[in-house]
Amino acid sequence: MTQILLAAIGVMIFVVIFQIAKASEYVNVLKGEEKARRQNNKINAFLLISFLVLGLIGVWWCNDLFYNKTLFVQPAASDHGEKIDLMLYITLGVTGVVFILTQVLLFWFAFKYQESDDRKAYYFPHNTKLELIWTTVPAIFLTVLVVFGLKYWFKMTGEAPKDAIVVEVTGHQFGWEYRYPGPDKTLGAKNFKLSKGANSLGVDFDDPAAKDDIHVATTMYLPVGKPVKFVINAQDVIHDVGLSHFRLKMDAVPGIPTTLWFTPLYTTAKMKEITNNPDFVYELSCDQMCGKGHYSMRGVITVVSEEAYNFWLAQQKPEIWTVRPETAPKPAGAPAVTDSTAAAKTATPVAAVMGTK
Amino acid sequence: MSTSAVLHNADVHTHDAHHEHHHHETFISKYVFSQDHKMISKQFLITGIIWAIIGGLFSVLFRLQLGYPDTTFPFLEDLLGHWAKGGKLQPEFYYALVTMHGTILVFFVLTAGLSGTFANFLIPLQIGARDMASPMLNMLSYWFFFLASIIMFASLFVQTGPASGGWTIYPPLSALGDASSGSKIGMDLWLVSMAMFIVSSLLGGLNYISTILNLRTKGMSMTRMPLTIWGLFFTAVLGVLSFPVLLSGAILLLFDRNLGTSFYLSDIYINGKILPNEGGSAILFQHLFWFLGHPEVYIILLPAMSMSSEIISVNSRKPIFGYMAMVGSMFAIAILAFLVWAHHMFVTGLNPFLGAFFVLLTLLIAVPSAIKVFNWLTTIWRGSLRFTPAMLFAIGFVSMFISGGLTGIFLGNSALDIHLHDTYFVVAHFHIVMGVASFFGMFAGVYHWFPKMYGRYLNNTMAYIHFWVTMVGAYLIFWPMHYQGFAGVPRRYYDFSMWESFNQFGGLNEFISFVAMIVFAVQLLFVFNFFYSIFKGRKVTTTNPWGANTLEWTTPIRPGHGNWPGEIPEVHRGAYDYGKDGREFILQTEPVGENESHH
């Protein structure tokens, strides 16, 4: 019912606008084309300058409303992120000045130089000096931004430090899996043709390096202050490891592993304090369209102290115990962890002990 | 060259004032299979308008989901059946709508609808030609577009739904029916439709280029051409050189989908199945796609840019400032357009060293863009501005181009792109600079040349309402999206409720959706004004209503087939002698006087 009512109101407004539009056209004919045109010109010139003033107020107001909802109010949670924030501020500063300057000139000129009887248009077809100025000045500013940007770009995309913790991140429709290399610090070989049942990642458990690898889903633990290197894979379609709090992201492409490294600067608990938000979590979002569940492809990264991280890691059971149950030690009575999600679940009470939740 | 062109034209068509009485055209040959460039341009425009309504409506539908995620709309179920079960859009269909919105607006409206319309209409009229170099190919260009439209439209009605992997159709998502229901038959139709579309665009583009190079009237040297023609020329060159690459990419994708090849597929384990494909590269497709995809941005933007230049000059009653710099900067943009495609791929694992070149070349585009902006500002400086609806839209174009262009400086810098890539910041950026700005250029063009097309004016009051609501609305919709981007909110999310980090914009999303609906409604007002005015608009009574210099205003109010009765006029000067020697405007056809000042 309300929909019909809304539609009727829409049609009414439309008819009214149409009637006014027709009427004003007749009025203009009566008034004389020239006079009507000049009147329209004055009105629109006034509207243009009003748009400028109200628009600038709106820009300020919009900033006021939403600034606190952005990441500007949170420190970047990684070392790379701090550099990105600095670049963001510099770029905002430079473009902000240009934005205000050009928009003000555009609308102010439009208002000031509206058609008038006292003035004729000034014939000014070109001026080489002026044109050279606005070729070189932007070029200089851009050079500065490029130099800054590339310096950071090479730093961020360069080799990870040798002592970086390696975590393999794998995306699939619609979730995230993580693999830790275990005590030998080497990830076992993988072959997608081995993917089957419990061994969803296709790990080659005949590879000795794979025997101590740990597989967890959804929630990843990382130590604060230690560099970490992600080796990123996808099983089916392209996904993207989006880490907005760390200001980073990297695509996950089937068949072509990518890498990303950074150093987390704050534990999750510390960020809860900083943001004054008890529900704060580092979320891992899929940032590349990957199908109908794209919007729900959520992972969590819990950053803890190094001791807590080591404690957590020690609790984890190698994946091979699940995939090849015969390899698992058999303490009488206590059954081994049966699947990888259960491994992730056991992590939660541990975290509770460590005071991160 | 120009002289022979005139002779050639005169040989083919010996027109006289009574020509139209001798020649009996049937309804079919006049309105359907017409070879007249003016009629073909109207066909492109009206088809484009129909697509724009569909594409715009799709955005309103998916904005309903974003703005009111907790509300059900029973009428949606009546309309869409199981795609909106219980009155709520299903995620698959949400993504199909997003995909089709992008495809329709980028290709069918802002490529075919924009350059198809204005290249066809303006090239012969502004360079002084009877028609296109090949009217037959020109007609085929429209009909291939029509065929592409039919196939794309049909794909909306297949049971598994239209393509839903985003307008960029990245494989493997678009290659595997197992990955998404939109990647079943809907995707094949999408690819076939695009192949037809590309044929259309190539036929058109080749025609535009050869017409501009060969059929200019006597005296119309390249450097006397109106900027519109330069813009349309570069657009055609970009299209002809880049669309074939997308065609090849699309054909390889069709092979991967249907013939078991592995161009883009490797190492895939999906739905518990291990696929046999090995050795392909999903990233290869992105290179092929963006090799068109980036020039495509300028295919959309250059016509809007050049028409706005023309309209700003005419309505400022001043020459466009720095004509040669304007041409040069368009040329620079056209060259650079081919060298920056990988800036869409900074986070795909691209070689960082290679990435550095793309950063440099991308930010280099800001230089010609800045030249254009400052030249537009200088053009209106000390002018005598007439705010026709076309002029307002042209000013709006400049404002949008500035706003959206500046955010390109963020995204083109790879390190910053790592943070902002695929967030709402990108959505805001490209909608403002490519979507809204190009639409403004297109509206400016329609308002300015409508009198030439139909011999009638559009209603001014409706036009002013259209402009102001669209201008204010576009900023209200897209400006706050930058803040969502600064919060890291990813694009193409159906729902944010499960996210701690992205769920704080509920009120804003509702506001944006509400404004989007109003802006859409006002576009319907424009559409109404357009069709109403074709039949009932105020009649044009003078050949040159805007007091412009270019050749199209030397034709009769409603030019017939062949455009000029009698001889094609000869050109003696550039297109921008406004306000020279105290005269308001001097037609291009007027010989240079003895005492005329040089500049």
From chain B, the residues in CB contact with A203 under 8 A are: none
DSSP state of B255: H
Alpha helices in B68-105 (DSSP H): 74-80, 91-103
Contact A299, A116 (CB under 8 A): no
Residue A28: how many other CB atoms lie within 10 Å: 19
**Domain limits for position B467:** 2-12+36-582
Rounded Cα distance between B480 and B403, Å, is: 13
pLDDT of A268 higher than 50 = yes
Residue of B450, B491, B448, B444 whose CA lies nearest to B471 = B444
Closest alpha carbon within chain A to B278: A255
From chain A, the residues in CB contact with B496 under 8 A are: 295
For residue B36, give how far its alpha carbon lies from the nearest alpha carbon of chain A (Å). 32
Closest alpha carbon within chain A to B599: A125
Type of residue numbered B144: F
From chain B, the residues in CB contact with A140 under 8 A are: none
Kindly report the CATH class assigned to A165-353: mainly beta
Inter-chain residue contact A195 with B355, CB threshold 8 Å: no
For residue A147, give how far its alpha carbon lies from the nearest alpha carbon of chain B (Å). 9
For residue A332, give how far its alpha carbon lies from the nearest alpha carbon of chain B (Å). 34
Inter-chain residue contact B418 with A247, CB threshold 8 Å: yes
CB of B537 less than 8 A from some CB of A: no
Contact B128, B216 (CB under 8 A): yes
Predicted interface score ipTM higher than 0.95: no
Inter-chain residue contact B528 with A18, CB threshold 8 Å: yes
From chain B, the residues in CB contact with A125 under 8 A are: 319-323, 576, 599
Q: What is the pLDDT of residues A18-30, one digit of tens each?
A: 999 999 888 888 8
CB of B492 less than 8 A from some CB of A: yes
pLDDT at position B7 is 41
pLDDT at position B18 is 44
Structure tokens of B510?
A: 């509702």
Inter-chain residue contact A21 with B461, CB threshold 8 Å: yes
Contact A327, A333 (CB under 8 A): no
Alpha helices in B413-501 (DSSP H): 414-420, 424-430, 437-454, 460-478, 481-486
For residue A53, give how far its alpha carbon lies from the nearest alpha carbon of chain B (Å). 13
Probe site for chain A from B380, B496, B530, B584 (most A CB atoms < 10 A): B380
From chain B, the residues in CB contact with A10 under 8 A are: 521
Residue of A163, A226, A214 whose CA lies nearest to A188 = A214
CB of B276 less than 8 A from some CB of A: no
Determine the number of helices (DSSP H) and then strands (DSSP E) in chain B. Answer: 21, 2
Contact B224, B573 (CB under 8 A): yes
Inter-chain residue contact B317 with A121, CB threshold 8 Å: yes
Give the DSSP per-residue string, B276-294.
Answer: ---S--HHHHHHHHHHHHH
Structure tokens of B581?
A: 């020697």
Task: Spell out the residues 6+ positions from residue B338 whose beta carbon is closer than 8 angstroms to its own.
Answer: B238, B241, B242, B291, B294, B295
The whole-number average pLDDT for the span A251-259 is 96
User: Of chain B residues 544-573, which have a CB less than 8 A from chain A?
Assistant: none
CB of B60 less than 8 A from some CB of A: no
For residue B288, the domain's CATH number is 1.20.210.10
pLDDT at position A328 is 86
For residue A212, give how far its alpha carbon lies from the nearest alpha carbon of chain B (Å). 24
Inter-chain residue contact A70 with B487, CB threshold 8 Å: yes
User: Of chain B residues 305-344, which have a CB less than 8 A from chain A?
Assistant: 316-325
In the block, tokens 């009111």 appear at B68
Residue A346: how many other CB atoms lie within 10 Å: 15
Residue of A170, A213, A220 whose CA lies nearest to A192 = A170
Q: To the nearest 10°, the Cα dihedral for A185, A186, A192, A198?
A: -40
From chain A, the residues in CB contact with B382 under 8 A are: 113, 121-122, 124
Inter-chain residue contact A153 with B406, CB threshold 8 Å: no
Inter-chain residue contact A18 with B387, CB threshold 8 Å: no
Share of chain A above pLDDT 70, in %: 92
When computed from its CA atoms, the radius of gyration of chain A, rounded to whole angstroms, is 30
Residue A109: how many other CB atoms lie within 10 Å: 22
Q: What is the largest CA-CA distance in chain A?
A: 102
Which residues of chain B carry a pLDDT beneath 50? Answer: 1-22
Q: Are strands A214-217 and A175-180 parallel, antiparallel or unpaired?
A: antiparallel
pLDDT of A191 higher than 70 = yes
When computed from its CA atoms, the radius of gyration of chain B, rounded to whole angstroms, is 24
* B23 within a domain of the structure (yes/no): no
Our count of domains for chain B comes to: 1
Task: Spell out the residues 6+ positions from residue A355 whose beta carbon is closer than 8 angstroms to its own.
Answer: A269
User: Of chain B residues 253-272, which have a CB less than 8 A from chain A?
Assistant: 265-270
Residue A258: how many other CB atoms lie within 10 Å: 21
pLDDT at position B33 is 86
Inter-chain residue contact A295 with B495, CB threshold 8 Å: yes
Closest alpha carbon within chain B to A259: B349
pLDDT at position A332 is 58
User: Of chain B residues 452-491, which have a CB less than 8 A from chain A?
Assistant: 459-462, 464-465, 468, 471-472, 475, 479-480, 483, 486-488, 490
Residue by residue, what is the 3-state secondary structure of chain A? CHHHHHHHHHHHHHHHHHHHHHHHHHHHHHHCHHHHHHHHHHHHHHHHHHHHHHHHHHHHHHHHHHHHHCHHHCCCCEHHHHHHHHHHHHHHHHHHHHHHHHHHHHHHHHHHCECCCCCCCCCCCCCHHHHHHHHHHHHHHHHHHHHHHHHHHHHHHCCCCCCCEEEEEEEECCEEEEEECCCCCCCCCECHHHCECCECCCECCCCHHHCCCEEEECEEEEECCCCEEEEEEECCCCEEEEEHHHCEEEEEEECECEEEEECECCCHHHHHHHHCCCCCCEEEEECCCCCCCHHHCEEEEEEECHHHHHHHHHHCCCCHHHHCHHHCCCCCCCCCCCCHHHHHHHHHHHHHHCCCC
User: Of chain B residues 364-393, which have a CB less than 8 A from chain A?
Assistant: 364, 366-367, 370-371, 373-378, 380-387, 392
Structure tokens of B262?
A: 């592995």
Closest alpha carbon within chain A to B275: A193
Inter-chain residue contact B360 with A146, CB threshold 8 Å: yes
Closest alpha carbon within chain A to B503: A69
* B591 within a domain of the structure (yes/no): no
Inter-chain residue contact B385 with A45, CB threshold 8 Å: yes
* B598 within a domain of the structure (yes/no): no
User: How buried is residue A35: exposed, middle or buried, by Cβ count under 10 Å (0-12/13-18/19+)?
Assistant: exposed
Inter-chain residue contact B281 with A48, CB threshold 8 Å: no
Closest alpha carbon within chain A to B92: A292
**Run of H or E including B113:** none
pLDDT at position A1 is 73
Inter-chain residue contact B385 with A41, CB threshold 8 Å: yes
pLDDT at position B15 is 44
pLDDT at position A329 is 85
CB of B414 less than 8 A from some CB of A: yes
pLDDT at position A4 is 86
From chain B, the residues in CB contact with A34 under 8 A are: none
Q: What is the pLDDT of residues A59-107, one digit of tens each?
A: 999 999 999 999 999 999 999 999 999 999 999 999 999 999 999 999 9
